[in-house]
Amino acid sequence: MTDPDLLEAFLRDDPQAPPRTAFVNILKRCNARCRYCTDWRASRDPRGDPSRKLLRALFADLVELGIADLVVSGGEPFLRRDVLDVLADAVALGLAVRVISNGSALTRDHVDALARLGVGRVGISIDSLSETRMRELRGLPVKRVMASIEMLAAQHRDNPAMRVSLFVTVTRHNIDDLLPLAAYAEKLGISIQFQPVHWAGTGTEQEILEELWPTAAEVDRLAVVIGELVSWQQTGTSPIASSDRYLAQMPGFFVNRTFRPARCTVAYTDVVIDQDLNMRPCWSMDPVGSVARETASRLWTSEQMRAARAQIRKGGCPGCLYSCHINKPHVELPSIPGIPESRGGEGVSALDRPV
Ligand SMILES: C[S@@+](CC[C@H](N)C(=O)[O-])C[C@H]1O[C@@H](n2cnc3c(N)ncnc32)[C@H](O)[C@@H]1O
Ligand code: SF4
Ligand code: SF4
């Protein structure tokens, strides 16, 4: 669907227009302890994971709905023993698949298999190159995560079709880590994207505000770092896959405690299935129903989704700067002094573009 079509769909409130991307969390369990996430507090019993059969039926239904692009996440996807089978099922249905992981359980066999399956992008989350800060922020050993990243980067050199990206969650504690992380991505020939910590959709507002939200002085320091990332991004040869306009919103997001684009079309383009198998209009909004009980295609056109879209159209969403939703060329971002017309946010860095 072209962007004018999308705008039309939004203006007509037409959920029949095919969505573009589906995000599916294939389990809730996790072995990390990220301070901004609650998944690790869930049961660690694998018997609670959605079955491969259920996920296959869900993927087939998403294909019926018009989805071609699937992002698999969790919880930690690589804790599932059948993760490669689940991904293979999605590929067999013709879906272009991306996967996001904390990098702590990835093996060489996984990496080789991901390339063989034709997975288009592997995202690994990392918030610092410091052992202490990774322990404090994510409860993970940075060396193990870096070993996974480096295995993936080596695979990417052999199989450029499998792209690799670092995902960095920005908090008050890693402002000085952002440039070193970008330099690390550049050295490895992979890309990097940034998103601020959120509480919308997490139910942990107080904890996040008290422990992770930058103070006014820290926002000023972040603005300087963001300025450097923006300038680097604008050279057109950086590893940075966050668009310049997206990055430039980040200090304001922390000051205003949210961000709302003039017109957010995400609930028409992105199908979100969370770690409890609920469909949400977007990651920040409450669930509208469960795909364990109803099909995704029914939920997509349900009264509950229609009501959520109406709320968004009236400017009643909580707002967010989630990279997966907002760092997209079809999401209009306001201009910011000193930032020229947007170069688009495609989630693709100069390193990712075919030469
Ligand atoms: C929910 S995790 C799931 C995949 C995998 N476990 C991982 O950490 O990459 C996906 C991404 O969301 C980020 N994330 C989790 N909670 C967040 C929050 N409250 N605010 C912003 N980003 C968050 C993580 O850092 C990670 O990059
Ligand atoms: S690794 Fe991912 S799922 Fe696990 S606690 Fe951290 S952000 Fe949440
Ligand atoms: S919360 Fe974010 S993704 Fe959801 S509708 Fe609002 S701006 Fe869009």
SS (H, E, C) 17-78: CCCCEEEEECCCCCCCCCCCCCHHHCCCCHHHCCCHHHHHHHHHHHHHHCCCEEEEECCCHH
Which of 25, 39, 212 for a ligand 2 pocket mutation test, highest count of atoms within 8 Å of Cβ? 39
C-alpha of residue 284 to centroid of ligand 3, in Å: 6
In this predicted structure, what is the pLDDT of residue 341?
A: 58
| 124 Cβ below 6 A of ligand 2 | no
pTM here is 0.95
In this predicted structure, what is the pLDDT of residue 45?
A: 94
| 331 Cβ below 6 A of ligand 3 | no
Give ligand 1 pocket residues (Cβ under 6 A).
30, 34, 36-37, 73-74, 76, 100-102, 125, 167, 169, 195, 197-198, 202
Spatial separation of the C-alpha atoms in residues 106 and 40, rounded to whole Å: 18
pLDDT averaged per 10 residues in sequence order, the chain, 355 residues? 65 76 97 95 93 98 96 97 98 98 98 98 98 98 98 98 98 98 98 96 90 98 98 96 96 96 90 96 96 96 94 93 92 78 57 52
In this predicted structure, what is the pLDDT of residue 4?
A: 67
Strands 270-273 and 191-196: unpaired
Spatial separation of the C-alpha atoms in residues 315 and 336, rounded to whole Å: 21
Q: Which domains does the chain have, with CATH numbers?
A: 3-352 (3.20.20.70)
